[in-house]
Amino acid sequence: MLKYLPHIRIPFKLFDDERIKRIPEEYRSSSLLILIALLKFVNSQNGQCYPRQATISSMVCLHRSTIYRCTELLQKVGILKTKRLKSTLLYTINSDYLVNKKYDVSSRHIPRLMMTDISRTTINLTNIDKLIKDVVNSGGDKDLIINKLSTFPRSTLIKAIQEKDNPYYSQLALNEQDRKGDGVLVDLPKGIELEKLRKKTNFAYQRAVYKNKRNNDRTTKTKNFLSELNKKK
């Protein structure tokens, strides 16, 4: 079965849109470029996406201050809305700019073979897709997605990366598991007190122990040297 290459769906009217024309000319082309970049990430059902500003900047080669200004102008003319999340912005694009509507094409004399019945098209969401969707819809951010995904079995995340199922978030979830030690619990040997164990593994405590030991070694060496010197006299 043939598949399309990854692409961005853009309505034709975007290039002759009255809202776009209301943006000052010096920012118009940049605003249009930023909107197209957002359409790459958008969920066509709810019009939402949440790419970081740095990601947009690397895509369109614009400074962050320009992106901030253009985003404000796009909001002002009613093309999108933004909501502050923990580490990024949630962008909601006006549904007029999303290619997700059905149109009556019966009068266009298009051969039946070339027409697709959209109502019969189903999108099979994976468990990772569903988790990301639930987090975004509830106002969560990237960190919350990674934290929740890190509770998935490691084999599931590795398989997701291999099958291109949200590989970016799956890899970050694996990294988070590694950072946490994969959640493995270790039984402490009998007789070891937890507070003493915490103290001995504390960096400041270890540094103080090393410093005291070094000073004691110096004092001992000095005493031994002086003792040997007195014996020679």
Which has more pLDDT, 206 or 76? 76
Residue 192: its pLDDT value, please?
A: 47
Residue 124: its pLDDT value, please?
A: 59
The model's pLDDT over 181-226, given as tens digits with 9 standing for 90+, comes to: 754 444 445 554 545 655 555 556 667 777 788 778 778 877 777 7
Classify 139 in phi/psi space as left (phi over 0), alpha (psi -120 to 50) or beta: left
The model's pLDDT over 126-172, given as tens digits with 9 standing for 90+, comes to: 888 888 888 888 877 888 888 889 999 988 888 888 888 888 888 88
- What is the CATH number that goes with domain 12-97? 1.10.10.10
Q: Where in the chain is the domain with CATH 1.10.10.10?
A: 12-97
- Position 228 pLDDT exceeds 60: yes
